[in-house]
Amino acid sequence: NHHLKVSKSQAGDKTLSQVMPLGRSERVEEVARMLGGATITDTTRRHARELLEQS
């Protein structure tokens, strides 16, 4: 089971894409970010852990 984070940034007139593998704690943080938006709370982290455990 692999989880990857894809991000995009700009450098001048070029767009750069980056793909990074995520470890356990990084997966929790990323899922929490998707659930909670800009503000990650203990509740969103707990929900993220629950979702990952059920998958």
Note the pLDDT tens digit of each residue in 11-28.
999 999 999 999 999 999
- 2 Cβ partners below 8 Å, 6+ apart? 21
**Burial of 17: CB neighbours in 10 Å, binned 0-12, 13-18, 19+:** exposed
Region 23-49: mean pLDDT is 94
Domain extents in the chain: 22-55
Query: Kind of pairing, strands 14-21 and 4-11?
Result: antiparallel
Helix axis angle for 42-54 and 24-36, nearest 10°, is: 120
pLDDT of 46 over the 90 cut: yes
Share of the chain above pLDDT 90, in %: 87
pLDDT of 37 over the 90 cut: no
Region 37-50: mean pLDDT is 94
List the Cα angle 33/8/3 in 5-degree steps.
50
